[in-house]
A and B are shown apart, each in its own frame.
Chain A
Amino acid sequence: MNHDAYDDNYIRGILNNVKSIAMVGASPVNVRPSYFAFKYLAQRGYDMIPINPGHVGKSLLGKPFVAQLSDIGRPIDMIDIFRNSSHIMPVVEEALKLSPLPKVIWMQLGARDDAAAEKAEAAGIKVVMNRCPKIEYGRLSSEISWMGVNSRTLSSKRAPIPTQGMRLSLNRTSVGGGETAASDRAAKNKNELT
């Protein structure tokens, strides 16, 4: 596996298939990148679990903080590690003790540990390093193109309307369509004839 450059289909496959994501190092501080990513992924329909022993008892956007991976108590598809490279290995070792194993281990933008990646891959887990799932989701959906970012994707299909579950509103303000001076006159003429 080449971890310097990922094929879009590899990333697309992961983001299309995982449903639950445990975010190790999730922060409740709303200017931290982990907070942005957590909120964005939750809004895109992922089942998000914040992991941070320092905040147990509190919750992040309505999801209770969990101290460690083994406390989640249910299978999870992906672990998104928001820690520096030097803190990756212990998290991967903890993940390898889970049963069932997660399908994907994702290390955040700036984080990379090739030895940890090798261990996870040997157990059949897919690994992504030094990427942000929010940015990759935005890029592959071309939502991020609104910021002038090169999505590196092309499409000749009509883009989906950007809000989910949107329906045409019937609640519009009516203006005087049809009731023009000419139609008034026409109605008046008709009345006078009968």
Chain B
Amino acid sequence: MTDRHPGFSTLAVHAGAQPDPTTGARATPIYQTTSFVFNDADHAASLFGLQAFGNIYTRIGNPTNAVLEERVAALEGGTAALAVASGHAAQVVVFQQLLMPGDEIIAARKLYGGSINQFTHAFKSFGWNVAWADPDDVASFERAVTPHTKAIFIESIANPSGSITDIEAIAAVARKAGVPLIVDNTLATPYLIRPIDHGADIVVHSLTKFLGGHGNSLGGIIVDAGTFDWSKDNKYPMLSEPRPEYHGIKLQETFGNFAFAIACRVLGLRDLGPALSPFNAFMILTGIETLPLRMQKHCENAKAVAEFLSGHPKVAAVNYAGLASDKYNNLARKYAPKGAGAVFTFSLKDGYDAGVNLVSNLKLFSHLANVGDTRSLVIHPASTTHSQLDDAAKVKSGAAPDVVRLSIGIEDKEDLIADLEQALTA
């Protein structure tokens, strides 16, 4: 008898969760506790020395969070995962394992504005540098490789532009350079794109968006693909060298193909501290159970709204990779055949002011700085999420001044279209 491989929707409901051993509770309990008792002194020492599996303190791990971690690892096809307090925390924890002062990453220019800020400004104080490359020009990544390069970072579907990145081509550059490819899969979710299947070594998410899906809880996660050999040269000492904080343990030698996730937990989360609240983990887990259903509806609605807008006389351009006419449609067919996501931008013929008017005239769409909610959302990136960039960088990141970003929810599409129609003509 060979093992059956459960489908995506089955994993979305079951992976990582099991009826509680003590009470039989079927839903995952919220283990709202800071700490866990040890059986005896030897058990305590084994846990602290990383010799036994188990719980110590919620900054390092928590049983509710562990269910979330295993579930997302299963959905992404990774070996292990680590949940943290936000998407941004996930990025810091990842890079702390990979970079020493003076090291460099290559990042796609089309990223969430907050990530551009984090890499440009916050990382400076750690001595980490970023080289920018154009995700539409794979050769620009190749040209950016230097002896200091330690990783490449891209978004699978870019925020805000909704453009699709050629993950396989950039993975090939990373392989040749001997560095891991990190993919922020927030806007696609593993339901639409599984970056590990296309060559990613690490996947990060803001769980705040479609995975949690209801706009109620911040969270982030790091998924280890188990594909990268951290010890083949001395580039990644956090994983390959004896760790003084654990009496000389070498993490890759000890934990094999999930050593990166362990490093993020026992070096990153333990020492930097951005732990996810178990309550948030529970909310996000509940969201994930309906991820396949929600993503189908998000994508169906997004396509209908994009089609409506592209036929509207006041609209100058719609950038949605799910439209046959879109520049990214071929990449969408290859990487996201089930749908091109639900975040995209468009611009109005009457420019910036018309965009501002539209936002204020909408009645169902909420004007706020988030994406991936059940509710439909609207924002003007140039004055908000991407406001810290100069004009040239705004254009390059897909947030030109005349662009409006939508995140399409799971309402009835007729109502969304009617709201846009009235706001465009008001």
Contact = CB atoms under 8 A, between A and B. Distances in A.
B80 A147 contact: yes
B61 A147 contact: yes
Given A147-B265, A149-B80, A33 B254 contact: yes
Interface in A19-42: 30-31, 33, 35-36, 39-40
B79 A146 contact: no
A23 to B, nearest CB: 15
B258 A149 contact: yes
A30 B2 CA distance: 37
A90 interface: no
A116 interface: no
B157 interface: no
Contact of B66 (A35, A132, A148): A148
A100 to B, nearest CB: 28
Contacts of A148: 61, 65-66, 69-70, 73, 80-83, 261, 265
B70 A145 contact: yes
A28 B143 CA distance: 49
B20 interface: yes
Interface in B60-102: 61, 63, 65-67, 69-70, 73-74, 78-83
Contacts of B261: 147-149
A161 B21 contact: yes
Contacts of B249: 31
B249 to A, nearest CB: 5
Contacts of A147: 53, 61, 66, 80, 258, 261-262, 265
B81 A150 contact: yes
B52 A40 contact: yes
A146 B21 contact: no
Nearest to B248: A31
A161 B22 contact: yes
A169 to B, nearest CB: 13
B55 interface: yes
B281 to A, nearest CB: 11
Interface stretch (A50-58, A119-127, A151-159, A186-194): A151-159
Contacts, number: 108
B61 A158 contact: no
A8 B423 CA distance: 57
A110 interface: yes
B337 interface: no
Interface stretch (B8-16, B175-183, B326-334, B376-384): B8-16
Of the four ranges (under 10, 10 to 19, 20 to 34, 35 or more), the interface on chain B belongs to 35 or more
A144 interface: yes
B19 A158 contact: yes
A33 B253 contact: yes
Interface residues of A, number: 36
Nearest to A35: B51
Interface stretch (A65-73, A91-99, A135-143, A177-185): A135-143
Nearest to A160: B21
Interface string B18-51: 1111101000000000000001000000100111
B54 to A, nearest CB: 6
A159 B21 contact: yes
Given A148-B83, A149-B258, A154-B10, A9 B46 contact: no
Contact of B14 (A146, A149, A156): A156
B246 interface: yes
A89 interface: no
Contacts of A152: 74
B80 A150 contact: yes
Contacts of A8: 3
B254 A150 contact: no
Contact of A150 (B3, B61, B70): B70
B6 interface: yes
Contacts of B55: 146
B256 interface: yes
A149 B246 CA distance: 20
B426 interface: no
Given A31-B249, A109-B256, A161-B21, A146 B63 contact: yes
A132 B256 contact: yes
Contacts of A163: 39
B1 interface: yes
A162 interface: yes
Interface in B144-172: none
Contact of B49 (A31, A110, A143, A161): A31
Interface in B233-288: 246-249, 253-256, 258, 261-262, 265
A109 B252 CA distance: 10
B20 A159 contact: yes
A163 B254 CA distance: 24
A35 to B, nearest CB: 8
A31 B249 CA distance: 6
Chain B CB count within 10 A is highest, among A40, A149, A150, A161, for A150
3 A-B pairs closest in CB distance: A148-B69, A150-B73, A159-B21
13 contacts: A36-B254, A132-B256, A145-B70, A147-B53, A147-B61, A147-B261, A149-B261, A157-B18, A158-B21, A159-B18, A159-B19, A159-B20, A163-B39
